[in-house]
């Protein structure tokens, strides 16, 4: 209605004036982008407000931030009330890793969808990507490798099942949902080390070189769990 439209325009002006980060035109475009992702009206304002804060904190492009947050919420099956929590995790990932919002914006979609299929939170991806990129892997390669690792668990091959049974471990999607990604990965690494051929056994279990690369970079269980804690404690990342 005309009244709702006027209210929306007023919200756009308020956002622009309060944050002094972008023009009304930029914010209007951002609102259109989040609306295209299914967040309209008050929900769209909530997502956009968070995106502007993310842009300001991370010196990122508003459109990239708004689309990243909106698409991540959709992929993880979350509504707009999770916008700030999501943005804090994404910002913490950028803070602790060697990557930028634009890197996440261009490649996080499939990864978050696979996380959701395994019943795992966004913090798992944040922790893994921060570690991988700090160890020298490019952001896009880190995302590809991690996605491959998740797929190895989500769609376990017959060869992998036979090896896992031989080693006495469970590493299918049900195990991930029950125990969590970090615990199952730790079990897999420990069992593979016990064979005396870590790389060869991991390759048989995972079936993909990219998955193997990610697993090796996340093989220090204490290091990965510490990084995961950082992500879980990211509730004030944008305001710190």
DSSP-assigned letters across all residues of 118-172 = TT--HHHHHHHHHHHHHTT--HHHHHHHHHHHHHHHHT--HHHHHHHHHHT---S
Mean model confidence pLDDT for the chain? 90
φ, ψ of residue 171 to 5 degrees: the values are -140, 25
Specify the pTM. 0.89
Confidence of residue 12 (pLDDT cuts 50, 70, 90): low
Q: How far is CA 74 from CA 95, 141, 149, 204, in A?
A: 23, 23, 22, 34
How far apart, in whole angstroms, are the C-alpha atoms of residue 109 and residue 92? 18
**pLDDT score of 167:** 98
Lowest mean pLDDT among 3-12, 112-121, 167-176, 185-194: 3-12
């Amino acid at each position: 209605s005309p009244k709702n439209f006027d209210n929306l325009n007023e919200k756009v002006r308020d956002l622009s004036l309060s944050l002094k980060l972008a023009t009304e035109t930029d914010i209007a475009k951002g609102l259109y982008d989040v609306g295209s992702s299914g967040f309209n009206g008050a929900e769209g304002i909530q997502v956009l407000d968070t995106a502007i804060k993310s842009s300001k904190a991370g010196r990122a492009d508003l459109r990239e931030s708004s689309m990243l947050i909106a698409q991540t919420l959709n992929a993880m099956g979350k509504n707009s009330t999770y916008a700030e929590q999501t943005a804090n995790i994404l910002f913490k990932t950028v803070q602790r890793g060697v990557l930028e919002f634009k890197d996440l914006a261009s490649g996080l979609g499939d990864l978050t969808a696979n996380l959701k299929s395994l019943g795992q939170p966004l913090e798992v991806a944040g922790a893994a990507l921060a570690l991988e990129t700090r160890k020298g892997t490019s952001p896009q390669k880190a995302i590809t490798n991690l996605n491959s690792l998740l797929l190895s668990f989500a769609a376990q091959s017959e060869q992998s099942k036979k090896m896992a049974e031989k080693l006495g471990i469970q590493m299918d999607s049900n195990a991930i949902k029950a125990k969590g990604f970090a615990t199952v990965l730790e079990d897999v690494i420990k069992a593979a080390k016990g064979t005396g051929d870590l790389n060869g056994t991991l390759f048989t279990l995972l079936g993909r070189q990219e998955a193997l690369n990610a697993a090796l970079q996340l093989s220090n269980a204490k290091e990965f769990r510490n990084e995961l804690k950082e992500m879980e404690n990211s509730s004030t990342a944008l305001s710190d």
